[in-house]
Amino acid sequence: MPQVLDELLSILDLEPIEVNLFRGQNHKKIKMRVFGGQVLGQALIAAQRTVEGRVVHSMHAYFLRPGDPSVPILYEVDRIRDGRSFTTRRVVAIQNGKAIFNTSISFQVEEEGLSHQVEMPDVPDPEDLPTEDELLSQLPAEVMKRVQQVVGKSGNKPIEMRRVEAMDFIGEHEQAPHQSIWFRAADRLSDDLAIHQAILGYASDMGILATSMLPHGAWFRFDKLQMASLDHAMWFHRPFRVDEWLLYSLESPSTSGARGFGTGKIFTRDGILVASIAQEGLIRQLKDKPS
């Protein structure tokens, strides 16, 4: 198993501190702030550790403060409700005595019922698309280095990604506010659905806010923008494996008031809709300092 995926699994394996209280570690190489997807995944695991015989079907979260990567995160679980069919948990992530994140997560006993779904977009297979490193290698060296500081190197990530649309990494052109990305875990995982859902939560924070920037050009000009996830909602529709190719179909219906709004649908390779996502994030233009 690649070291980066092994590290992610280790980070998701929370340490129990007390009843309903867990401690999570952070990625060692992160220096600025904790990645939002990490907190989403860890919160899912914390809630799942307090529930038996039921599966997560929805999650509604708010990012309250930037996470400090040098400090472990405490996850406090409140057992809101245990009903006949549904179970509700509230999870608060805490650093230095302050809440940095909170979420409500709902579980359900598995049931049969009515079923329909939208169709998956008609896109090329992931094997027919270049890797991120292959895309970056086509850029001028100075631009490639700067972009890699933001997105990292494809071969050094727990999640492998293949972009369907050509990405304007330089940011010279405006693009339509939608994109499709194939992704999967970098190696085979266990059959535990909770792990697959937690890693999907981790991956769901990748690309959704950036989609809101596509109509405005240069979404890699981070020195001119303040960007951060504000809230995040997920609905899990059907079982899946995150170590097999999944298609993340993203669009941004609106950007306004220094906020970008995006939605996403996640399909298996066979076209089965397994999850839906919605997120709003801060996109604030920074003023140039007077010389």
Question: Does the annotation count 168 as an active-site position?
Answer: no
Question: Does the annotation count 270 as an active-site position?
Answer: no
Cβ neighbourhood burial of 117 (10 Å; 0-12, 13-18, 19+): middle
Taking the C-alpha atoms of residue 155 and residue 204, their distance in angstroms, rounded to an integer, is: 19
Read off the DSSP letter of residue 219: T
Question: Does the annotation count 78 as an active-site position?
Answer: no
Given a contact cutoff of 8 angstroms between Cβ atoms, the answer to whether 242 and 226 are in contact is no
Residue in 25, 175, 212, 279 annotated catalytic = 279
Taking the C-alpha atoms of residue 226 and residue 189, their distance in angstroms, rounded to an integer, is: 35
Residue in 154, 229, 252, 276 annotated catalytic = 229
The CA-based angle 40-223-153, given to 5 degrees, is: 55
Residue in 25, 205, 243, 276 annotated catalytic = 205
Sign of the CA dihedral running 285, 229, 245, 269: negative
Catalytic residues: 205, 229, 279
